[in-house]
Protein backbone atom coordinates (compact mmCIF):
# COMPACT_ATOMS: atom_id res chain seq x y z
CA UNK A 1 0.00 0.00 0.00
CA UNK A 2 1.25 3.43 -0.79
CA UNK A 3 0.51 4.72 2.72
CA UNK A 4 2.58 2.12 4.63
CA UNK A 5 5.48 3.16 6.87
CA UNK A 6 8.54 3.04 4.61
CA UNK A 7 11.02 4.49 7.11
CA UNK A 8 13.34 1.49 6.91
CA UNK A 9 13.71 1.50 3.13
CA UNK A 10 16.83 2.76 1.34
CA UNK A 11 16.58 5.97 -0.65
CA UNK A 12 17.04 4.25 -4.02
CA UNK A 13 14.01 2.07 -3.29
CA UNK A 14 11.91 5.01 -2.08
CA UNK A 15 12.40 7.01 -5.26
CA UNK A 16 12.04 4.01 -7.55
CA UNK A 17 8.76 3.52 -9.40
CA UNK A 18 9.80 0.22 -10.95
CA UNK A 19 6.81 -2.10 -11.22
CA UNK A 20 4.32 0.78 -10.95
CA UNK A 21 1.98 1.93 -13.66
CA UNK A 22 1.16 5.62 -14.25
CA UNK A 23 -1.25 7.69 -16.33
CA UNK A 24 -0.35 11.31 -17.14
CA UNK A 25 -3.13 13.42 -18.66
CA UNK A 26 -2.10 16.14 -21.08
CA UNK A 27 1.33 14.50 -21.19
CA UNK A 28 2.11 15.04 -24.88
CA UNK A 29 4.02 18.25 -24.23
CA UNK A 30 4.87 20.90 -21.65
CA UNK A 31 4.80 20.09 -17.94
CA UNK A 32 2.99 16.79 -18.50
CA UNK A 33 5.69 15.51 -20.81
CA UNK A 34 8.41 16.52 -18.34
CA UNK A 35 6.52 14.75 -15.54
CA UNK A 36 6.09 11.62 -17.67
CA UNK A 37 9.84 11.70 -18.38
CA UNK A 38 10.83 11.72 -14.68
CA UNK A 39 8.28 9.00 -13.84
CA UNK A 40 9.69 6.86 -16.67
CA UNK A 41 13.26 7.53 -15.55
CA UNK A 42 12.22 6.28 -12.08
CA UNK A 43 11.02 3.09 -13.76
CA UNK A 44 7.24 3.53 -14.11
CA UNK A 45 5.38 2.13 -17.09
CA UNK A 46 3.18 4.82 -18.55
CA UNK A 47 0.10 5.77 -20.45
CA UNK A 48 0.23 9.31 -21.77
CA UNK A 49 -3.29 10.55 -22.51
CA UNK A 50 -3.84 13.71 -24.51
CA UNK A 51 -6.19 15.40 -26.97
CA UNK A 52 -3.28 15.14 -29.41
CA UNK A 53 -2.91 11.37 -29.89
CA UNK A 54 -0.05 11.69 -32.38
CA UNK A 55 2.09 13.81 -30.06
CA UNK A 56 1.20 11.58 -27.08
CA UNK A 57 2.31 8.51 -29.04
CA UNK A 58 5.56 10.21 -30.08
CA UNK A 59 6.27 11.18 -26.45
CA UNK A 60 5.53 7.63 -25.26
CA UNK A 61 7.84 6.14 -27.90
CA UNK A 62 10.64 8.53 -26.97
CA UNK A 63 10.37 7.71 -23.24
CA UNK A 64 10.11 3.95 -23.82
CA UNK A 65 13.31 4.04 -25.88
CA UNK A 66 15.19 6.30 -23.48
CA UNK A 67 14.24 4.59 -20.22
CA UNK A 68 13.41 1.00 -21.18
CA UNK A 69 9.86 1.18 -19.81
CA UNK A 70 6.56 0.32 -21.47
CA UNK A 71 4.78 3.46 -22.64
CA UNK A 72 1.53 3.99 -24.51
CA UNK A 73 0.21 7.17 -26.11
CA UNK A 74 -3.57 7.43 -26.17
CA UNK A 75 -6.28 9.85 -27.27
CA UNK A 76 -8.02 11.21 -24.20
CA UNK A 77 -10.23 14.22 -23.54
CA UNK A 78 -10.40 14.73 -19.78
CA UNK A 79 -13.85 16.30 -20.11
CA UNK A 80 -15.21 13.04 -21.58
CA UNK A 81 -15.76 10.52 -18.78
CA UNK A 82 -16.11 7.59 -21.18
CA UNK A 83 -12.81 8.45 -22.89
CA UNK A 84 -11.02 8.76 -19.53
CA UNK A 85 -12.46 5.43 -18.37
CA UNK A 86 -11.38 3.79 -21.65
CA UNK A 87 -7.81 5.10 -21.30
CA UNK A 88 -7.70 3.95 -17.67
CA UNK A 89 -8.94 0.49 -18.71
CA UNK A 90 -6.27 0.40 -21.40
CA UNK A 91 -3.55 1.20 -18.86
CA UNK A 92 -4.78 -1.62 -16.60
CA UNK A 93 -5.13 -4.09 -19.48
CA UNK A 94 -1.86 -3.33 -21.28
CA UNK A 95 0.40 -2.32 -18.38
CA UNK A 96 -1.11 -4.71 -15.79
CA UNK A 97 -2.45 -2.26 -13.18
CA UNK A 98 -2.53 1.34 -12.05
CA UNK A 99 -0.80 2.98 -9.09
CA UNK A 100 -0.15 6.60 -10.18
CA UNK A 101 -2.46 9.09 -11.89
CA UNK A 102 -1.35 12.64 -12.73
CA UNK A 103 -4.16 15.09 -13.52
CA UNK A 104 -2.07 17.53 -15.53
CA UNK A 105 -4.23 18.53 -18.53
CA UNK A 106 -5.27 22.15 -18.22
CA UNK A 107 -6.20 25.21 -20.26
CA UNK A 108 -5.68 28.89 -19.50
CA UNK A 109 -7.39 31.23 -21.97
CA UNK A 110 -7.01 34.88 -20.98
CA UNK A 111 -10.28 36.79 -21.41
CA UNK A 112 -11.14 40.01 -19.54
CA UNK A 113 -14.06 39.42 -17.18
CA UNK A 114 -16.33 41.92 -18.94
CA UNK A 115 -15.94 39.95 -22.17
CA UNK A 116 -15.90 36.44 -20.75
CA UNK A 117 -18.71 34.20 -21.97
CA UNK A 118 -20.34 31.41 -20.00
CA UNK A 119 -18.97 29.02 -22.63
CA UNK A 120 -15.37 30.01 -21.87
CA UNK A 121 -16.00 29.77 -18.13
CA UNK A 122 -17.62 26.33 -18.49
CA UNK A 123 -14.86 25.01 -20.75
CA UNK A 124 -12.10 26.07 -18.33
CA UNK A 125 -13.94 24.43 -15.43
CA UNK A 126 -14.70 21.34 -17.54
CA UNK A 127 -10.99 20.71 -18.13
CA UNK A 128 -9.32 22.10 -14.99
CA UNK A 129 -11.85 21.14 -12.29
CA UNK A 130 -14.34 18.56 -13.63
CA UNK A 131 -11.45 16.84 -15.45
CA UNK A 132 -9.64 16.44 -12.12
CA UNK A 133 -12.79 14.93 -10.55
CA UNK A 134 -13.29 12.50 -13.44
CA UNK A 135 -9.63 11.52 -13.57
CA UNK A 136 -9.48 10.98 -9.81
CA UNK A 137 -12.68 8.94 -9.81
CA UNK A 138 -11.58 6.68 -12.66
CA UNK A 139 -8.13 6.27 -11.12
CA UNK A 140 -9.49 5.48 -7.64
CA UNK A 141 -11.96 2.95 -9.01
CA UNK A 142 -9.05 1.00 -10.48
CA UNK A 143 -6.56 1.52 -7.63
CA UNK A 144 -8.95 0.44 -4.89
CA UNK A 145 -9.56 -3.13 -3.86
CA UNK A 146 -13.27 -2.80 -4.52
CA UNK A 147 -13.15 -0.96 -7.84
CA UNK A 148 -13.56 -2.59 -11.25
CA UNK A 149 -10.54 -3.22 -13.43
CA UNK A 150 -7.93 -3.36 -10.70
CA UNK A 151 -4.95 -5.66 -10.96
CA UNK A 152 -4.90 -9.29 -9.95
CA UNK A 153 -3.87 -8.67 -6.35
CA UNK A 154 -7.08 -6.71 -5.85
CA UNK A 155 -5.78 -3.15 -6.14
CA UNK A 156 -2.81 -1.88 -4.14
CA UNK A 157 -3.78 1.70 -3.48
CA UNK A 158 -1.93 4.47 -5.22
CA UNK A 159 -1.25 8.17 -5.60
CA UNK A 160 -3.17 10.86 -7.47
CA UNK A 161 -1.18 14.01 -8.26
CA UNK A 162 -3.09 17.11 -9.34
CA UNK A 163 -1.19 19.84 -11.19
CA UNK A 164 -2.69 22.95 -9.66
CA UNK A 165 -1.01 26.40 -9.95
CA UNK A 166 -0.06 29.31 -7.75
CA UNK A 167 -3.43 30.50 -9.14
CA UNK A 168 -4.94 27.97 -6.72
CA UNK A 169 -3.56 30.08 -3.86
CA UNK A 170 -4.15 33.67 -5.00
CA UNK A 171 -5.26 35.84 -7.90
CA UNK A 172 -3.18 35.88 -11.08
CA UNK A 173 -3.01 38.12 -14.14
CA UNK A 174 -6.09 39.98 -15.42
CA UNK A 175 -8.23 37.81 -17.69
CA UNK A 176 -7.71 34.62 -15.70
CA UNK A 177 -10.84 34.64 -13.50
CA UNK A 178 -12.04 31.24 -14.76
CA UNK A 179 -8.54 29.80 -14.49
CA UNK A 180 -8.01 31.06 -10.94
CA UNK A 181 -11.45 29.80 -9.88
CA UNK A 182 -10.83 26.38 -11.45
CA UNK A 183 -7.40 26.02 -9.84
CA UNK A 184 -8.82 26.90 -6.42
CA UNK A 185 -11.35 24.13 -7.12
CA UNK A 186 -8.55 21.69 -8.03
CA UNK A 187 -6.73 22.51 -4.80
CA UNK A 188 -9.95 22.08 -2.79
CA UNK A 189 -10.58 18.74 -4.49
CA UNK A 190 -7.05 17.66 -3.55
CA UNK A 191 -7.88 18.20 0.13
CA UNK A 192 -11.31 16.56 0.05
CA UNK A 193 -10.27 13.56 -2.05
CA UNK A 194 -7.34 12.95 0.31
CA UNK A 195 -9.85 12.49 3.14
CA UNK A 196 -12.18 10.32 1.14
CA UNK A 197 -9.59 8.10 -0.50
CA UNK A 198 -7.18 7.53 2.41
CA UNK A 199 -9.16 4.50 3.65
CA UNK A 200 -8.61 2.96 0.19
CA UNK A 201 -4.82 3.39 0.47
CA UNK A 202 -4.84 6.23 -2.06
CA UNK A 203 -2.93 9.45 -1.38
CA UNK A 204 -3.84 12.69 -3.16
CA UNK A 205 -1.35 15.53 -3.56
CA UNK A 206 -1.18 18.74 -5.56
CA UNK A 207 1.74 20.54 -7.18
CA UNK A 208 1.38 24.28 -7.73
CA UNK A 209 3.80 25.75 -10.29
CA UNK A 210 4.36 29.43 -10.90
CA UNK A 211 4.95 30.61 -14.49
CA UNK A 212 7.01 28.13 -16.52
CA UNK A 213 7.44 28.71 -20.27
CA UNK A 214 5.74 25.84 -22.15
CA UNK A 215 4.27 25.42 -25.61
CA UNK A 216 0.83 26.17 -24.16
CA UNK A 217 1.47 29.41 -22.37
CA UNK A 218 3.83 30.73 -25.06
CA UNK A 219 0.99 30.18 -27.58
CA UNK A 220 -1.51 31.79 -25.21
CA UNK A 221 0.73 34.83 -24.85
CA UNK A 222 1.23 35.03 -28.62
CA UNK A 223 -2.55 34.86 -29.16
CA UNK A 224 -2.90 37.79 -26.78
CA UNK A 225 -0.28 39.68 -28.82
CA UNK A 226 2.43 39.28 -26.17
CA UNK A 227 5.89 38.16 -27.25
CA UNK A 228 7.42 36.68 -24.13
CA UNK A 229 10.90 37.04 -25.67
CA UNK A 230 10.45 40.80 -25.40
CA UNK A 231 9.52 40.73 -21.72
CA UNK A 232 12.54 41.04 -19.41
CA UNK A 233 13.22 37.83 -17.47
CA UNK A 234 12.99 39.89 -14.28
CA UNK A 235 9.27 40.45 -15.03
CA UNK A 236 8.65 36.77 -15.79
CA UNK A 237 10.20 35.75 -12.50
CA UNK A 238 7.37 37.63 -10.83
CA UNK A 239 8.41 37.68 -7.18
CA UNK A 240 10.73 34.68 -7.23
CA UNK A 241 13.51 35.09 -4.64
CA UNK A 242 15.27 32.18 -6.38
CA UNK A 243 15.94 34.62 -9.21
CA UNK A 244 15.26 32.51 -12.28
CA UNK A 245 12.26 31.35 -14.27
CA UNK A 246 11.19 27.76 -13.59
CA UNK A 247 11.66 24.92 -16.05
CA UNK A 248 9.28 22.00 -16.72
CA UNK A 249 11.74 19.71 -14.94
CA UNK A 250 11.63 21.91 -11.81
CA UNK A 251 7.95 20.93 -11.62
CA UNK A 252 8.46 17.32 -12.72
CA UNK A 253 10.85 16.57 -9.86
CA UNK A 254 8.22 17.71 -7.33
CA UNK A 255 5.62 15.55 -9.07
CA UNK A 256 8.02 12.59 -8.85
CA UNK A 257 8.42 13.22 -5.10
CA UNK A 258 4.62 13.16 -4.75
CA UNK A 259 4.22 10.01 -6.85
CA UNK A 260 6.94 8.10 -5.02
CA UNK A 261 7.11 6.62 -1.53
CA UNK A 262 9.36 9.54 -0.50
CA UNK A 263 6.08 11.35 0.27
CA UNK A 264 4.38 8.30 1.87
CA UNK A 265 3.23 10.28 4.92
CA UNK A 266 1.69 13.10 2.88
CA UNK A 267 -1.81 13.49 1.52
CA UNK A 268 -4.08 16.48 0.93
CA UNK A 269 -1.25 19.02 0.56
CA UNK A 270 -0.60 21.12 -2.51
CA UNK A 271 3.12 21.79 -2.76
CA UNK A 272 4.13 25.18 -4.14
CA UNK A 273 6.80 24.75 -6.81
CA UNK A 274 7.25 28.42 -7.50
CA UNK A 275 10.79 29.57 -6.72
CA UNK A 276 9.38 31.21 -3.61
CA UNK A 277 7.00 33.36 -5.66
CA UNK A 278 4.21 33.07 -3.12
CA UNK A 279 6.50 33.15 -0.08
Ligand X SMILES: NC(=O)c1ccc[n+]([C@@H]2O[C@H](COP(=O)([O-])OP(=O)(O)OC[C@H]3O[C@@H](n4cnc5c(N)ncnc54)[C@H](O)[C@@H]3O)[C@@H](O)[C@H]2O)c1
Q: Rank residues 32 and 275 by Cβ distance to ligand X and give the closer one.
A: 32
Q: Rank residues 43 and 213 by Cβ distance to ligand X and give the closer one.
A: 213
Give min distance, CB of 18 to ligand X, in A: 26
Distance CA 22, CA 190 (A): 18
Give min distance, CB of 12 to ligand X, in A: 29
Strand-pair category, 202-209 with 158-163: parallel
Distance CA 110, CA 176 (A): 5
Interacting residues toward ligand X by CB under 6 A: 25-26, 28-32, 50-52, 76-79, 104-108, 127, 163, 165, 209, 211-212, 214-217
Tell me which of 179, 245, 267, 272 is the catalytic residue.
179
SS3 call for 207: strand
Q: Rank residues 62 and 151 by Cβ distance to ligand X and give the closer one.
A: 62
Shortest CA distance to 210 belongs to which of 185, 247, 175, 178?
Answer: 247
Q: Rank residues 159 and 264 by Cβ distance to ligand X and give the closer one.
A: 159
Q: Is 60 a catalytic residue?
A: no
Give min distance, CB of 37 to ligand X, in A: 13
Strand-pair category, 71-75 with 45-50: parallel
Give min distance, CB of 31 to ligand X, in A: 4
Catalytic residues: 179
Amino acid sequence: MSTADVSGKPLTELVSLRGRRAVVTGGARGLGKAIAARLAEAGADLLIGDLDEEQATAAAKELAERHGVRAIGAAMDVTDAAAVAAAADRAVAELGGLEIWVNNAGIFPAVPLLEMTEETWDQVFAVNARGVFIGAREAARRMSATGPGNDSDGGRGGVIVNIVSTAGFRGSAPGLAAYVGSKHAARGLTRELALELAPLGIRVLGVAPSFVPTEGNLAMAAAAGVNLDEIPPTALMLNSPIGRVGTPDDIARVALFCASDLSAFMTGSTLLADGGDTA
